[in-house]
Amino acid sequence: MLKYLALAATALALFATSAVPATADGSWWSGIQTWETGTVDRIVDGDTVIIVDDSTGKKRRVRLLGINAPEAPTAKHAGQCGGLEAKAILEQTLPLGTHVRLLSGNQKSKGKRSRPQRVVLAYNPVNGLYDQDIAWGIAERGYAVWFTVAKEAAMSSLYRAVIEQAQQARRGIWNPAGCGELEQPQASIDIRISRTTSGAPVNKEWVQIRNVGNEPVDISGWTLRDSGNQGWYVFPGGTYLTPGDYRIVHTGKGTPTKPNPRDVYAGNSYRLYPASNKQNALVGDGAYLLDRYGNYRFWREYPCVKDCLDDPLGGSIVIDDFSLGEKRGKARAQTQFITLRNRAIVEICLDGYRLDTGAATYSFEPQTCLAPNERWTLKVGKPASKKEARAARRSAEPLIYWGRIKPALWDNGVITIYSDQDRVLAHRAWGANVGASPLKD
């Protein structure tokens, strides 16, 4: 508790020296509308405030859009590391009686327990404007994760940018020793997120945790979470990763170690990671790995917001060959293939990456790794016989069947390999699509 109070004091000191974004013309919030005004009655925690509505005189429990702050402790719950600090910042930012405006894209926007979801702008007595974005202030001080709502993402790019700054500076919850002892400081973990499409089995969605360091790491008691508060998984005792070892955390329900020895299951009945969107507003999510003390040690967020043509593995994997197939329909699918080659001098793993042809998307399975100069071939159709399937398994270089009935490649087309962050790893186009940008909107 003393450590939490000390962190809260530090957070308030940061508040005193930091400014929230302000523009005289209000352009930060031009894509959303003011629906209500009111005064602050009580601070619940770092992302929830009770407002007395100017029009009705009633109290409204309002949830800040764009962020998810740690839960503050209550009489019934212990709370989360950073919860006291986030609440203290909000209490300092929004003293009781502060006048605010409540904005959103849709007046009916609501979250859990029917709480209105709003961007909260506080009155600034210095210039007479409502330009103090409260969620931005919490995020800038490092006490929130990025949290998007698909229909309320007009401000999400701004929040993502300021959270990335806090992450790079290791402020607030991003301080690897902010919540307790820094255990296993030598740990080096890579996270990959494999998303799936609506209607696909929940367990097709998974997160891979891989030890990419040179020393073993014990992640027993460590927690994997998304940006919300529902999809948390705690690694059981004995989860010991030697260098190169990994675990696949499937979103749904299942039996640990089945069907593969490194499979575990979070036990959810719904997908956690939404489709990304950069066309109208930034929509995405993240996977975060916390140690036993609640320190945020490693994380991965999507989609990319800059350098999206520059995947870290770029130039290593090339689309070496492909065939548009012969004839039509199923027969054409059976004769189509795509071959990749690893040009790097080290093994490259494509776990969490996906191959997109414009007509269809193939997600690489866990442990899809190519040795230096190795070729990997994806046949679009199905094996014509059991003999052909056996031959594929015995092939000197990986040969995988997609299992499609319809063709995936056409006379004018593209093949693009994207990372889980939507970065471009490899791209090839032909016909009328030559010169087209591989970037997703």
Burial (CB < 10 A; 0-12, 13-18, 19+), residue 25, is exposed
- The distance from CA 160 to its chain's CA centroid, rounded to whole angstroms, is 11
The band of 241, judged by pLDDT with boundaries at 50, 70 and 90, is very high
Q: Averaged over 333-361, what is the pLDDT?
A: 96
- Checking if the pLDDT of 308 tops 90, the result is no
- Checking if the pLDDT of 290 tops 90, the result is yes
Structure tokens at 76: 């019934």
- Checking if the pLDDT of 112 tops 50, the result is yes
CA distance linking residue 206 with residue 19, whole number of Å: 39
Residue (of 373, 381, 379) closest to 404 by Cα position: 381
CA distance linking residue 208 with residue 250, whole number of Å: 9
Angle at 196 between CA 66 and CA 399, to 5 degrees: 145
Residue (of 422, 413, 303) closest to 354 by Cα position: 422
| Strand ranges of the sheet holding 206-211, from the earlier edge strand across to the other edge | 189-194, 206-211, 246-250, 263-265
- Cβ-contact 273, 205 below 8 angstroms: yes
Beta bridge partners of 62: 49
Q: Averaged over 136-158, what is the pLDDT?
A: 92
Strand blocks (E) in 46-94: 48-53, 59-64, 67-68
Structure tokens at 246: 């990994």
Return the number of other C-beta atoms located less than 10 Å from residue 257's C-beta. 10
- Checking if the pLDDT of 230 tops 90, the result is no
Which of 31-45, 273-287, 426-440 holds the top average pLDDT? 31-45
Q: What is the pLDDT of residue 331?
A: 92
Q: What is the reported pTM?
A: 0.90
Q: What is the pLDDT of residue 441?
A: 57
Burial readout 392-411 (b: 16 or more C-beta within 10 A, e: otherwise): eeeeeebbbbbebeebbbbe
What's the mean per-residue pLDDT of the chain?
A: 90
Handedness of CA 239, 245, 251, 255 (dihedral sign): negative
Return the number of other C-beta atoms located less than 10 Å from residue 437's C-beta. 12
The band of 14, judged by pLDDT with boundaries at 50, 70 and 90, is very low
Q: Averaged over 306-326, what is the pLDDT?
A: 92
The band of 296, judged by pLDDT with boundaries at 50, 70 and 90, is very high
- Checking if the pLDDT of 23 tops 80, the result is no
Q: Which of 101-105, 212-216, 248-252, 275-279 has the lowest mean pLDDT?
A: 275-279
Domains and their CATH numbers in the chain = 2-174 (2.40.50.90), 189-302 (2.60.40.1260), 317-433 (2.60.40.1260)
